[in-house]
A and B are shown apart, each in its own frame.
Chain A
Amino acid sequence: MELQIEDSVLVKQYIGGKEKALETLINRHNQKIISFIYSKVLDRDVAEDIFQDTFIKVIKTLKRGSYSEEGKFLPWVMRIAHNLIIDHFRKNKRMPKFEGSEDFNIFSVIKDDKLNVEKQMIKNQIDSDLTYLIDELPDDQREVLIMRIYKDMSFKEIAENTDVSINTALGRMRYALINLRKIVERNNIVLTN
């Protein structure tokens, strides 16, 4: 039968400089302490963090010589863990964390529509190239295309501003796009994002 060294003896050995005694204490109470923490926080990673913080406090207290032998080692460690769990919930109450669930993912509702840096650079390049191509169009087609695409005007407004019928404005826009495609194809220009 193997004799188990008491916690109080291991604590004394550790304070005396025997680091191995701490490892024995951690391994002896590992399961009880982390399972207790996990039963409260129900998150494996948070439990691991609180377990780590608990033993950092234990190490600091023991090395500073502030530990008193009044109580037993395990209840003392459990009390530290308990206080850290309360701190964790207080902190989360001030700054709630929303993680969603299996059925609902917050990122399916909220998304960032901004392009990433690379795509934004490509888009800027395409926009720049396109202005040169638009300059190649006949004046009447270029005028309609600029009003429609860049000034966001309706065809009714374009027709009024250029003194033509809506059908003519539509026709000019159609030819502007056809001609743009022709210029792109003729010069083997690649405009993609």
Chain B
Amino acid sequence: MEEIYSETPKTCGLIKARPETVSFLMAFSRSYQVANYENVTFERFLN
């Protein structure tokens, strides 16, 4: 019985986001800039 139960796949286990996703987010954050000029907000991406 133990074996049968252990075969049930876990569908809602704990997982972690992939390191490349985190790296992408950090790169996005570094490149994303917001500037305000005369009450107008400008978004820009720095390479």
Q: Which residues of A contact B (CB under 8 A)?
A: 19, 22-23, 26-27, 30-31, 33-35, 38-39, 42, 44, 47-48, 51-52, 55-56, 59-60, 63-65
Task: Point out the residues of chain A lying under 8 angstroms from B18, CB to CB.
Answer: 48
Task: Point out the residues of chain A lying under 8 angstroms from B43, CB to CB.
Answer: 60
**Across the interface, do B25 and A47 meet the contact criterion of CB distance under 8 Å?**
no
**Within the complex, what minimum Cβ distance (angstroms) separates A104 from chain B?**
18
**Within the complex, what minimum Cβ distance (angstroms) separates B39 from chain A?**
13
8 residue pairs A–B, Cβ–Cβ below 8 Å: A22-B29, A26-B22, A34-B15, A35-B13, A35-B14, A39-B12, A48-B18, A59-B29
Q: Which of B22, B26, B28, B34 sits near A30, CB closer than 8 Å?
A: B22
Task: Point out the residues of chain B lying under 8 angstroms from A59, CB to CB.
Answer: 25, 28-29, 32
**1/0 contact trace for B2-46 toward A, CB 8 Å?**
000000000111111110011011101110111000000101000
The dominant DSSP class at the A interface is helix
Closest to B36 in A: A65
**Across the interface, do B26 and A63 meet the contact criterion of CB distance under 8 Å?**
no
The dominant DSSP class at the B interface is mixed
Q: Which 8 pairs of residues, A with B, have the shortest CB-CB distance?
A: A39-B12, A34-B17, A63-B34, A35-B14, A55-B25, A59-B29, A51-B17, A31-B16
Closest to B12 in A: A39
Q: How far is the CA of A19 from the CA of B26 in the complex (A)?
A: 8
Q: How many residues of B contact A (CB 8 A)?
A: 21
Known: A42-B12, A59-B25. 12 other contacts (CB 8 A): A19-B30, A26-B17, A26-B26, A35-B14, A35-B15, A38-B15, A47-B15, A48-B21, A52-B21, A52-B24, A55-B25, A63-B29
Q: Which residues of B contact A (CB under 8 A)?
A: 11-18, 21-22, 24-26, 28-30, 32-34, 41, 43
**Across the interface, do A51 and B21 meet the contact criterion of CB distance under 8 Å?**
yes
Task: Point out the residues of chain A lying under 8 angstroms from B22, CB to CB.
Answer: 23, 26-27, 30
Task: Point out the residues of chain A lying under 8 angstroms from B34, CB to CB.
Answer: 63-65
Closest to A56 in B: B28
**Within the complex, what minimum Cβ distance (angstroms) separates B20 from chain A?**
9
**Across the interface, do B15 and A63 meet the contact criterion of CB distance under 8 Å?**
no
Task: Point out the residues of chain A lying under 8 angstroms from B26, CB to CB.
Answer: 19, 22-23, 26
